[in-house]
Amino acid sequence: MEFNLADLFEIVADTCPDRTALVAGDARLTYRELDERANRVAQHLRGAGVQPGEWVALLAWNRAEWIEAQHGIYKARNAVVNVNYRYVAEELRYILDNSDAVAVVFERSFAPMVAEVVPDCPKLRHFVVIDDASTDAESAAAIERLGAVDYEAALAAASPARDGLGPRSSDDLYVLYTGGTTGMPKGVMWRAEDIFFAALGGGGFGQAPITTPDELAGRVAADGAELKAMINAPMMHGAGQWTSFIAFYAGGTVILNVDHHFDGDKVLRIVARERAATIMVVGDAMARPLAEALDRRPDDVDVSSVFMIGSGGSILSPAIKEHLRARLPNAMVMDSFGASETGAGGTVMDQAGPAQGPRFTVNPQMNVLDEQWRPIEPGSGTQGMLARRGHIPLGYWKDEEKTAATFVVDPDGERWVIPGDHALIEADGTITMLGRGSVCISSGGEKIFPEEVEAALKAHPAVFDAVVVGVPDERFVERVAAIIKVRDGMDVPTLDDIQAECRRHIAGYKVPRELHVTDVVPRTPVGKPDYRWAKRLAMGEPA
């Protein structure tokens, strides 16, 4: 066996076959059941003529079938194309065509959009539809035009055995399409072995990486000691996929939030019912409603099993960390830093004292480089670019120019990935994240990173959510504009109020010079601010 995602999962499934692997809504699957259903997916794809190395798209909300199909696609030696369920037809057309996907597994309600774009995606030839209880005639007609196979019927007709699916390779691809803040989504290509060690735990966090695949069996938790992880991130995003793989590779139970909208009260009820040990959220967009649900938690909703709340994909503001810590004093509140191009980069665990900002303890492969791609002296105060070496991606699919700009070789011949984050390396080796250059504001010759200003804004008691952008300024090139959503039942703060609060946390040149109030702050499905929308609003343009 190799460091292959499917091989590694099978090692765990054979080690604890009768343990609950997945809870997703009404679905409950043991490792044996999940493994067999994934085998059926793989056997169906092979029988439908999908060849090893071809790519298969997944278009669905969080549900058990997403994880079944994902594992089945890897078992068949295909790559998963993660499709954002909020895409409109133009975006779906782009990603299906760009990826050269030959098959797509999708929920019934997406059938009309899939049928609309298929004529422009000539390599698509096989369609599998998951019933989502929608009953409209338009979807039925689209499914008929596509000749789509029903998901459950396909699995029922396929073998649950692993026969004929291997051998697999450590070089089999793991692909993650990432939207970023600008441009069209890009497919980041990883070798299976590299993503396993870079983002999926490498055999267990806090332990030395395994050296052979068979060692993973010895890392599976004993019965009764398995990790139960409540995962709220979308599976179509890296944060959701990586945290679920980490739990699976430890023989844990993935408790998947299958709701289409985050409901903090419902999450707490599920956590209490399943006795979850960890709750995974994506930034303040999930953490704030979770904290407020904890404020009103009934006594019969027992969440004492929780020992950690972790955020991946978006950094928590100090104010929200403090709120969570006050409500769950025996639990750690942890930020995890990572990117589609770097894997898991580092963590912030505030266990004592005031909650801190984005200052991460990183793994040995992470560093901050200067313009010549040399490591910057720790504690020098020199700003540089976050970088990772070692287990890193092969590059971007069909984008040689972006690959050349992002994957660089230093003067000593070491290959690094530079995802675009500005950072400082402190004297103790920790790294302070400053923000993405693509949304950096340039004002009066100073660089201002929106994340820092947003954290200061959220410290104001009336601010429920916030996003910051730069707008044109005749004197300073750009000035900081704040867009806020006001907490229910509170008065709208003035610009003076906002500025006074911000000056308590950040330098004067970073303080917002204008304020916009909105009923909603649009975010991506993974909780990141929609900076393009915010820019249009601040400029007075149609949203």
pLDDT at residue 416, rounded to an integer: 97
Residue 351: is its pLDDT beyond 80?
no
E strands of 192-241, at which residues? 228-231
For 102-128, what is each residue's pLDDT tens digit? 999 999 999 999 999 999 999 999 999
pLDDT at residue 521, rounded to an integer: 87
Which pair of structure tokens corresponds to residue 325? 């810590």
Average pLDDT over residues 237-257: 96
45-83: b or e for each residue (b if 16 or more CB lie within 10 Å)?
Answer: bbebebeeebbbbbbbbbbbbbbbbbbbbbbbbbbbbbb
For 190-237, what is each residue's pLDDT tens digit? 999 999 999 999 998 778 999 999 999 999 999 999 999 999 999 999
8 Å CB contact between 426 and 375: no
CA distance 306 to 287: 14
pLDDT at residue 253, rounded to an integer: 98
* Residues whose CB falls within 8 Å of the CB of residue 304, separated by 6 or more in sequence, listed in order: 330
8 Å CB contact between 467 and 516: no
For 442-485, what is each residue's pLDDT tens digit? 787 677 888 889 989 999 999 999 999 999 987 777 899 999 99
Q: Where is pLDDT greater, at 148 or 472?
A: 148
Pairing of strands 308-312, 278-281: parallel
For 253-305, what is each residue's pLDDT tens digit? 999 999 999 999 999 999 999 999 999 998 888 898 999 999 999 999 999 99
Average pLDDT, the chain: 92
CA distance 329 to 333: 9
Domains of the chain: 5-9+29-190 (3.40.50.980), 358-437 (2.30.38.10), 440-538 (3.30.300.30)
pLDDT at residue 183, rounded to an integer: 60
Residue 543: is its pLDDT beyond 70?
no
8 Å CB contact between 417 and 387: yes
